């Protein structure tokens, strides 16, 4: 399992020296330290007790402490939960996804995974026991231990519906944090469930270089699919009559030569990017492709209009 870093033992740390050593440990961990870490550093328990009594330390969990005055942050709460469940524990499920930035909302309570042999109950922490947790599943972001992306996706598959699971998968892919093959390989170690079946299908769909679509592009593609329209291909290379690459389309119907582009000002970094996008789309039109520009607001507010627009384009090209 992932090892917690420990400072070398010292002898008879007293007074200010103990405070300096506590500060040294806590500075790496968002102002926190655990009793097992202070003991490993040679700090006597009665020193910790005296700092608690004086208000210089604040007890967070039974054996986890915060240096008074340390600035609060989201990572601090997660770090405290990880320290309280150490060793062999890691942030998991929605908490790991939050740390990897594939979900924007931090779970109300930190989620931690531990080996199945350990049975823990800590108020305010959701503890998941796993029979398949391996050391290869764990890594760190800063000081916080957490599950690696493939394991995080597997954990999420038990809690998320298909659409948000697909969005999380594609976020990981776009940022080169995993590959579809790595997810499939890790799934071989997991028991079959509804969630893992869904994740396996999504991974197989992404074999072969698919880099993942944005969440908004996924929303558009799913809207078309649920309307009964053919599934468009994603991230299609468009070439001219000589076979030269001219653009990459968000979504495309190759046979009908129809491109469906998700258009939003927020995705352009400025006027230069906005203008370059227009040039790219005009090149696709010159190469004989019909280019439909769909906005996020249209998908949200007038989905039927979007569906009719695509239907009309496909019928025109038949």
In a shared domain, residues 89 and 196: yes
pLDDT above 50: residue 133: yes
Chain segment 149-160, per-residue pLDDT in tens: 999 999 999 999
CB 60 within 8 A of CB 110: no
Q: Within a domain: residue 152?
A: yes
CATH number at residue 286: 3.40.960.10
Report residue 85 as tokens: 């469940």
Of the three residues 70, 100, 135, the one that is the final residue of a domain is: 70
For residue 167, the model assigns a pLDDT of: 93
In a shared domain, residues 195 and 94: yes
In a shared domain, residues 80 and 196: yes
In a shared domain, residues 289 and 167: no
In a shared domain, residues 58 and 108: no
Chain segment 19-78, per-residue pLDDT in tens: 999 999 999 999 999 999 999 999 999 999 999 999 999 999 999 999 999 999 999 999
For residue 275, the model assigns a pLDDT of: 82
pLDDT above 50: residue 145: yes
Chain segment 91-103, per-residue pLDDT in tens: 999 999 999 999 8
Mean pLDDT of the 161-167 span: 94
Q: Say if residue 226 is exposed, middle or buried (CB neighbours under 10 Å; 0-12, 13-18, 19+).
A: exposed
Q: Within a domain: residue 3?
A: no
Mean pLDDT of the 295-305 span: 90
State which residues form the domain around 229.
215-317
In a shared domain, residues 64 and 85: no
Of the ranges 68-77, 258-267, 278-287, which one carries the lowest mean pLDDT score? 258-267
Q: Within a domain: residue 257?
A: yes
Residue 17: which pLDDT band, with cuts at 50, 70 and 90? confident
Of the three residues 165, 184, 205, the one that is the final residue of a domain is: 205
For residue 271, the model assigns a pLDDT of: 67
Q: Within a domain: residue 7?
A: no
In a shared domain, residues 63 and 84: no
Chain segment 188-231, per-residue pLDDT in tens: 999 999 999 999 999 998 886 566 677 888 888 889 989 999 98
Counting the structural domains of the chain, the total is 3
In a shared domain, residues 198 and 79: yes
In a shared domain, residues 53 and 140: no
How far is 20 from 26, CA to CA, in rounded Å?
10
Q: Within a domain: residue 2?
A: no
In a shared domain, residues 179 and 275: no
Of the three residues 205, 240, 264, the one that is the final residue of a domain is: 205
Share of the chain above pLDDT 90, in %: 72
pTM for the structure as a whole:
0.78
In a shared domain, residues 65 and 82: no
Q: Say if residue 172 is exposed, middle or buried (CB neighbours under 10 Å; 0-12, 13-18, 19+).
A: buried
Q: Within a domain: residue 10?
A: no
Q: Within a domain: residue 23?
A: yes
Across the chain, mean pLDDT equals 89
In a shared domain, residues 89 and 174: yes
Mean pLDDT of the 6-28 span: 69
Q: Within a domain: residue 1?
A: no
């Amino acid at each position: 399992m992932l090892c917690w870093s420990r400072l070398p033992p010292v002898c008879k740390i007293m007074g200010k020296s103990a405070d300096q050593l506590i500060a040294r440990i806590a500075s790496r961990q968002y102002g926190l330290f655990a009793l097992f870490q202070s003991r490993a550093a040679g700090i006597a328990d009665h020193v910790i007790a005296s700092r608690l009594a004086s208000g210089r330390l604040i007890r967070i969990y039974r054996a986890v402490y915060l240096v008074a005055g340390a600035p609060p942050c989201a990572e601090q709460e997660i770090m405290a939960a990880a320290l309280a469940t150490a060793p062999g524990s890691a942030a998991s499920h929605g908490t790991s996804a939050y740390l990897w930035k594939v979900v924007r909302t931090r779970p109300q309570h930190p989620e931690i995974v531990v080996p199945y042999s350990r049975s823990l109950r800590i108020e305010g922490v959701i503890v998941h026991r796993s029979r398949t947790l391996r050391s290869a599943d764990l890594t760190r972001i800063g000081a916080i231990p957490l599950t690696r992306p493939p394991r995080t996706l597997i954990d999420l598959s038990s809690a998320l519906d298909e659409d948000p699971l697909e969005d999380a998968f594609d976020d990981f892919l776009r940022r080169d944090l995993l590959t579809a093959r790595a997810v499939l390989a890790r799934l071989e170690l997991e028991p079959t469930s509804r969630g893992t079946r869904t994740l396996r299908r999504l991974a197989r769909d992404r074999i072969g270089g698919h880099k993942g679509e944005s969440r908004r592009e996924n929303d558009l593609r799913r809207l078309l699919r649920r309307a009964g329209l053919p599934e468009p291909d994603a991230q299609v290379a468009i070439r001219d009559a000589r076979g030269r690459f001219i653009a990459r389309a968000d979504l495309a119907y190759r046979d009908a030569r129809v491109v469906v582009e998700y258009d939003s000002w927020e995705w352009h970094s400025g006027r230069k990017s906005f203008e370059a996008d227009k040039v790219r789309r005009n090149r696709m039109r010159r190469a004989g492709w019909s280019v439909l520009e769909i906005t996020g607001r249209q998908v949200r507010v007038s989905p039927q209009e979007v569906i009719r627009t695509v239907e009309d384009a496909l019928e025109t090209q038949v």
